Structure 1
Amino acid sequence: MRESLFILLLACCFVVGISIDTITRTQPIQDSETIVSSGQAYKLGFFSPASNSDRYVGIMFNVPGTAHIIWVANRERPLNGPSGTVEILEDGNLAVLNGKKEILWSSNVSKSNNDTRAQLLDSGNLVLTDSNGISIWESFQVPTDTLVQKMRLSASLINLTSGKSAFDPSIGSFCARLNLFQIPQFFIWNNSKPYWRSGPWSGNTFIGIPGMNSAYRHRLYLQEDNSGSMYFINDYSDTSGMLYYMLNSSGVINQVSLDRNGYWNISWSSQESECDVYGKCGPFGNCNPRDSPICACLPGFQPRDREEWSRRNWTGGCIRRGRLQCERNQSASEDQGKQDGYLKLTNMKVPDFPEPIAIPEEECRSRCLQNCSCTAYAYYNGIGCMHWNGSLIDVQQFSFDGIDLYIRAVYSELDAGKRKDMKAVIASTVIVASLLIAFSAYICWKWLAKNKGGDQEVKLLSEDVIKMVNTVSDTVVRAKFEELPLYSYETLANATNNFQSKNMLGKGGFGPVYKGKLLDGQEIAVKRLSNSSSQGVEEFMNEVVVISKLQHKNLVRLLGCCIEREEKMLIYEYMPNKSLDSYLFDASKPNILDWRRRAIIIEGIARGLLYLHRDSRLKIIHRDLKVSNILLDEELKPKISDFGLARIFGGNQDQANTNRVVGTYGYMAPEYAMEGRFSEKSDVYGFGVLLLEIVSGRRNTSFYHDENELSLLGYSWRLWNETQATRLIDAAIYDQGIEHDILRYIHIGLLCVQEFAKDRPYVSAVLLMLTTEISNLPRPKLPGYTGRLGSPQSESSAQRDCSINDVTVTVVGGR
């Protein structure tokens, strides 16, 4: 009897072991059940997106507190309730059935039998095998919107398709696939139109993706199988495999990875600016997100339709200003001795439709010159010589990376280019000479002051003088080399009606900001450094140096600067809807910012912050993220502004310390305000405050509830713990139908404002929480200032200084 019982228990264990990762005819799964891969990496089960009671069957990472879906079976036909099953049909197909046993989805394999089984592998691949163990269907062959490790995308059959939204997995309008024509490229398509392009594959990288260095080379590559078919593969070498690429409903591919703290982070995104949209500037147009407007014609070309171009409708592109020499009548006497040539453009994303030519680099130019229809050429190791015939489409200027592109130009354009280069040399020489004169003058002055025995006041003054000289000169040099336009005082005075008060848009720590209009009709915002400003030349220089290197749709664009006589001004693109606080806290505009717009604003701020922290060439900490520094464009989309306090981090630097703490009370993270330590997590704290302000419609810096609550954060925390967080929601946006979404945003906001930096998520994880459905977010801990100390409640400009031995240390400086 005991032996029989042992055999029975052993058999039961065997059955349970089989059911862990496998579905058979006798072992279906119901709504409350899952199967888990043998290595515990993935699971298959039922799920519902946020604010949606529909049920779907999907494969997801088997990570606690997350529901990152990598594949959906019944994305077009959801279940209406928890009565579904996943089972093997009599014909051997894998299927999803509802409570009425109607088939909502099937593997639809014609050559199957009734002795099949579906196994979830540790790669995340769901494989249907026949009685001989041969695969007859795989989920990797019919992906949805996600590319995981070891998954292959082909040029024809296997591609990614987006969902309709973050909460609706049904098929959307975007798809991503490999294009093998001429040189392999990766495309995102919006229905039948190209939306984004990676640039040609060099054998290691896609050369149209800046910064695609060795960190990416070992994760993405092309592979040819035995049949000669090419596949695009994500082969992340980390054994955890917790990295994937997802095509979202907006047509953007995000690279997502799991960090050591259990947060999912977006580490790369395919679209950082408007210039990443395919063909933004039309044929022969060049897109540079640092310029305003972002589109310009390539050298030697002019707008096809100037009226449409002035309206910023660039789709018509450009046409050549003059005829090429090879197109002219060679017998004309004035043409003798004049030849076409090439203008060199650096850091370029090369145009679409490259034609590879198997010739040495030294022949690449001459071969193109012999062909009158060859409009451009380039050479890149791993690809070789590339020629372009006809129109040049989807050209972009990067701030770094990219390659040299040579544009065919008429003789007159070549001559003009030489004159321009000569002017640049002369200008640079004058600047360098001015620097030397200024520095020499300072050395002489300091020597005289020292010999006169100047007192401490003179010593302090000398530090300000050298900072002024070095800063102004350095700003000019940097502006020159960054090709940042320099505006004259006269131009800006005319544009702003001599800085009349009626043109003033506002006033901050830097000084007043004026609205202006240039002669070409372009509206601008002019930020003028005030002599009484609490900020100085250092902040002015800092803003020029930092923001001149940035390019993102959610960052305000710097158009130029003015350094003339005693004047120091920054010129920005004009934001017609001013700052976010003018809408958020204005009782006369309660219905303009509905929940949909507020959610877009929150996501846009997060995307801009992610670019600063992770995706720009430099790691930048803003240090003054607040509601008045969020500007709104004509479509009420957000742009982060005011980089006077921003700091640039080195490649491996995670945090820094300062003895001069400056910022805005109510937005400064505790570790920064109290200890002078700042990092990415400091900006995340400010973002969390912003998020809670946007959801509640209340200012953190002026909020007061009762004697027990010192801030909006404290009030939010109390309501959250009492499960009454709905009371925090602005009455102007409250709707029971979207209550779940808003509460999720409040949850994320509280995660961002936790007291200790180590507990806060990185902004990449925050963005992922905002844009994807995560079933179990971590429980937030106590917010900053609500436990040990009260939060400062005013935006004071006061600062306390302790001066010892000629060194000034600012303890706290609010703005």
Structure 2
Amino acid sequence: MKPGDILNASATSTLCSKQGRYCMNFNQNTDFDNLTYLSIFAKGKDNWLVWIANRDQPVDMDSAVLSLNQSGALKIESKIGEPIILYASRQHSNNSSNIVATLLDTGNFVLKDIQKNIVLWQSFDHPTDSLLPGMKLGVNRKTGEKWSLVSSISDSSPASGTFRLEWEPTRKELVIKHREKVYWTSGKLLINNTFEYISGEDFEVNVVSNKEEEYFTYWPNEDGFTKWTLLQTGLLINSEGRDIARADLCNGFNTNGGCQKWNELCRNPGDMFDSKLVYVNENMVYDIANTNYGINDCEEICWSNCSCFGFRNFYGNGTGCLFLVSTEGLNIASSGYELFNILVKNTDPKVSNKRIWIYIGIGTLTPFVGLFIVLLAVRKRRHVLRERERMRMQIEDLEGSRQYSDGDDLEGDLSNGDDLKVFTYSSIIVATNGFSSENKLGQGGFGPVFKGILPSEQEVAVKKLSKTSGQGMTEFRNELTLICKLQHTNLVRLIGHCIHERERMLIYEYMPNKSLDFFLFDSNRRKMLDWNKRFSIIEGIAQGLLYLHKYSRLRIIHRDLKASNILLDENMNPKISDFGVARMFTKQETEANTNRIVGTYGYMSPEYAMEGVFSTKSDVYSFGVLLLEIISGKKNNSFYSEDRPINLVGHVWELWKEGAVLQLVDPLLNESFSEDEVLRSVHAGLLCVEENADDRPTMSNVIAMLTNKIKVDILPKKPAYYGGTRVFEEETYGEDVDVDSTYENSYSHVQNIDSSSEEITKLI
């Protein structure tokens, strides 16, 4: 590739090495809708995949291109997300014609200045899950960059997983870690240049140590294709499928073949998990619907928890965990329909003999067995619920101790390649002037937010978790692990985090114009929002939501979209923020249910506020309310009065029926607005706040309506929450509402939205 050349995904362009040993293109074989990865594969009968440029950030198949531009920048671009910069010169090149990108017959994709004979960038410096001959594992002492293999999260997703193969320079050995816990080591390097626990018959080892770098690499004894691959189970294999390292067999007890030992209190040597078809019901299981968890995370959590008897993945793509927390009534007959990894206890002969005498004793007590069974049946339900709760608490403790003991552990828990920085507490103190009141930007449900200036003079916003915050460690972790994987011009960018003792902080790009509500609901500042700015803000929010719902790697439901969670940059461009209560879905999921209702009343869809059911259509409802607020410059609750129990949504509905929609427009705009854009926006907004979730449009359709790409013939129906109520509207004035499940029954009775305020108030 020369400056000006592109590799086009839609045209299925392919770049091959000189002898055709390796080729590169945008791989179409993904489990996600129309998403693709720039991949290098070995040509042959199996077309081995050996490298992926954007494993954690898939791009749109119809628009993705790899380009080498005239300034020598190598990047991947598509219509979704920010450009992925593989290389960009720090200084503008006046003679970029000397820069070429070449796929070598070693499988290395190299960007080189051929005049100076300098390698500017190469794929070998950014390994994924496969190690090719000549590729390094180790550290660049000059830059601090580490070279390591990272497994995929599952068979169906190439995203960064939880196992890592590293070179340990001090002991000079290979190490496989699972979330920073050492599972396996190769043992010391022997005199014959092989390792203690790796057979060296098929390859030669090369170890280099100098002032500039420290690394391990290997070369095959025979010419031909070869590679090492780290699987999501922790198994390291070669290209022929032969085992190199069996970290998948390391369970904390055995030390065979390089396995490392650690203490587990409730398991015994010889205990193991065995795959079985079983029949279970919902009372026997506990789930963690976290897409950052792979199958080995599930195994480790179950192994470390005495209440766990088995596990399997929660999602069809191999992520998330479903745990078996009760075996009462468990059916492992051949008619079972769910494949679980069931814990099989070690059978000690001495224990077995004791059991024989126990069974004889029980046989003499047969008359009492029936009564005992009846008592068990009465207590069964109570026992299962206790076990599930104990499992939940132990899992939370385990996750907290494993992932938040210090900053280094948390950094290791995040996916490699997200460019997420770990800040020291002292650097944050200096940046925020000791969290001074002059630097305070505001206060939210999470805690206070402070402006900071880094040594590089970059301005940042530091969101500090309050010790009395209703949003705890779960929200902190949710936002940290989720938003770092999202890249879109209309989403706020997370720069890094800081953990110091019990302090938890998130560091974001600084938004000089604060949040949308700062302007929208102030009579003076609102004048700065002319119609063009407002319509641009509406479109930007819609594009951000569309990315979350459709184009991000997993479907994201924000669950708390409102004016205060829309930040504005220096050009008044909107950026969706605050992902603390967001939920991740796979592409196959459409909705979920929760007993913990979080968010802000006035923006909540009726099915979520009353029944805990949420989906992308819940966000669509919130967007509809926000859209109407932007047009009118008024809060949803601002129309409530004793003699006129109606909110903004109801007011808009009345104007629609009367054909007087233009009366909704903020008077401060002085009639300087596009009537056509206002009418289309109000029409879209009313469709978004339909009471029935299925009747609401998708964000794709909303954008098409706003941009006039489709003609909308569907007329809106009477919206949800047409009549304002004291319950919902008083809550809207306050901070975010975290509705505990104990109050759920009270809200579930509020079925008639047009009921009088007095009747609804009595329910509370």
TM-score range, shorter chain: 0.5 to 0.7
Aligned to 1:645: 581
Per-residue deviation, 1:477: 3.0
- Contact in 1 for aligned 2:596/2:738 (Cα 8 Å): no
The one of 72, 75, 80 aligned to 1:283: 72
Aligned to 1:303, what secondary structure does the other structure show?
Answer: coil
Aligned to 2:401: 469
Per-residue deviation, 1:541: 0.4
Query: Which amino acid in 1 is paired with 2:180?
Result: V
Aligned to 2:180: 432
Q: Report the RMSD for the aligned CA atoms in angstroms.
A: 5.4
Aligned to 2:518, what secondary structure does the other structure show?
Answer: helix
The one of 303, 308, 313 aligned to 2:90: 303
Aligned to 1:792, what secondary structure does the other structure show?
Answer: helix
TM-score by length of structure 1 reads 0.51
Aligned to 2:503: 567
Written as runs of structure 1 = structure 2, the 5 A alignment for 1:158-197 is none
User: Using a 3 Å threshold, how does the CA distance of structure 1 residues 600 and 658 change in structure 2: closer, same or farther?
Assistant: same
The one of 587, 592, 596 aligned to 2:528: 592
- 1:517-552 residue CA offsets vs partner (Å, 9 max, x unmatched): 001100000111110000100000000111011000
Query: Which amino acid in 2 is paired with 1:202?
Result: T
Is structure 2 residue 502 aligned with structure 1 residue 754? no
Farther off after superposition, 497-506 or 626-635: 497-506
The one of 112, 133, 146 aligned to 1:420: 146
- 1:650-708 residue CA offsets vs partner (Å, 9 max, x unmatched): 12011111111111101111111111111110100000011000000001144426634
Per-residue deviation, 1:801: 3.9
Aligned to 1:664: 600
User: Using a 3 Å threshold, how does the CA distance of structure 1 residues 465 and 408 change in structure 2: closer, same or farther?
Assistant: closer
Query: Which amino acid in 1 is paired with 2:146?
Result: K
Aligned to 2:414: 479
Aligned to 1:683: 619
- Contact in 2 for aligned 1:302/1:318 (Cα 8 Å): no
Aligned to 1:514: 450
Is structure 2 residue 515 aligned with structure 1 residue 548? no
Aligned to 1:70: none
User: Using a 3 Å threshold, how does the CA distance of structure 1 residues 404 and 697 change in structure 2: closer, same or farther?
Assistant: farther
Aligned to 2:236: none
Is structure 2 residue 633 aligned with structure 1 residue 697? yes
Is structure 2 residue 13 aligned with structure 1 residue 201? yes
Aligned to 1:535: 471
Per-residue deviation, 1:618: 1.2
Is structure 2 residue 717 aligned with structure 1 residue 781? yes
Per-residue deviation, 1:739: 1.8
Aligned to 2:51: none
Per-residue deviation, 1:751: 0.7
Aligned to 1:243: none
Q: 2-side partners of 1:791 and 1:542: how far apart?
A: 29
Is structure 2 residue 649 aligned with structure 1 residue 713? yes
Written as runs of structure 1 = structure 2, the 5 A alignment for 1:35-184 is none
User: Using a 3 Å threshold, how does the CA distance of structure 1 residues 684 and 715 change in structure 2: closer, same or farther?
Assistant: same
Aligned to 1:568, what secondary structure does the other structure show?
Answer: strand
User: Using a 3 Å threshold, how does the CA distance of structure 1 residues 363 and 631 change in structure 2: closer, same or farther?
Assistant: closer
Aligned to 1:325: none
Per-residue deviation, 1:511: 0.6
Paired residues, number? 496
- 1:551-601 residue CA offsets vs partner (Å, 9 max, x unmatched): 000000000111221111111000000000111111122321100010110
Structure having greater relative contact order (Cα 8 Å, sep ≥ 6):
1
Aligned to 1:739: 675
User: Using a 3 Å threshold, how does the CA distance of structure 1 residues 580 and 602 change in structure 2: closer, same or farther?
Assistant: same
Written as runs of structure 1 = structure 2, the 5 A alignment for 1:245-324 is 270=63, 282-284=71-73, 298=87, 303-304=90-91, 316=92
- Contact in 2 for aligned 1:800/1:811 (Cα 8 Å): no
Aligned to 1:732, what secondary structure does the other structure show?
Answer: helix
Per-residue deviation, 1:508: 0.9
Query: Which amino acid in 2 is paired with 1:526?
Result: V
Aligned to 1:89: none
- 1:227-283 residue CA offsets vs partner (Å, 9 max, x unmatched): xxxxxxxxxxxxxxxxxxxxxxxxxxxxxxxxxxxxxxxx98849xxxx99779943
TM-score by length of structure 2 reads 0.54
Could you tell me the percent identity over the aligned residues? 38
Gaps of 5+ in 1: 1-178, 187-196, 219-266, 305-315, 321-350, 381-396, 448-454
Per-residue deviation, 1:717: 0.7
The one of 683, 697, 708 aligned to 1:772: 708
Query: Which amino acid in 2 is paired with 1:432?
Result: E
Aligned to 2:146, what secondary structure does the other structure show?
Answer: helix
- Contact in 2 for aligned 1:785/1:791 (Cα 8 Å): no
The one of 83, 99, 105 aligned to 1:361: 105
Aligned to 1:387: none
> Which one has a bigger Cα radius of gyration?
1
Q: 1-side partners of 2:83 and 2:111: how far apart?
A: 33
Q: 1-side partners of 2:110 and 2:614: how far apart?
A: 55
Q: 1-side partners of 2:119 and 2:6: how far apart?
A: 21
Aligned to 1:678, what secondary structure does the other structure show?
Answer: strand
User: Using a 3 Å threshold, how does the CA distance of structure 1 residues 803 and 667 change in structure 2: closer, same or farther?
Assistant: closer
User: Using a 3 Å threshold, how does the CA distance of structure 1 residues 737 and 521 change in structure 2: closer, same or farther?
Assistant: closer
User: Using a 3 Å threshold, how does the CA distance of structure 1 residues 565 and 691 change in structure 2: closer, same or farther?
Assistant: same
- 1:632-667 residue CA offsets vs partner (Å, 9 max, x unmatched): 000000000000011010120111111111111011
- Contact in 2 for aligned 1:754/1:760 (Cα 8 Å): yes
User: Using a 3 Å threshold, how does the CA distance of structure 1 residues 210 and 718 change in structure 2: closer, same or farther?
Assistant: farther
Gaps of 5+ in 2: 17-22, 37-59, 149-164, 169-174, 184-251, 253-259, 268-303, 307-385, 749-764
Query: Which amino acid in 2 is paired with 1:303?
Result: R
Q: 2-side partners of 1:724 and 1:280: how far apart?
A: 52
Query: Which amino acid in 2 is paired with 1:478?
Result: D
- 1:58-112 residue CA offsets vs partner (Å, 9 max, x unmatched): xxxxxxxxxxxxxxxxxxxxxxxxxxxxxxxxxxxxxxxxxxxxxxxxxxxxxxx
Query: Which amino acid in 2 is paired with 1:283?
Result: G
Q: 2-side partners of 1:731 and 1:757: how far apart?
A: 32
Q: 2-side partners of 1:460 and 1:712: how far apart?
A: 41
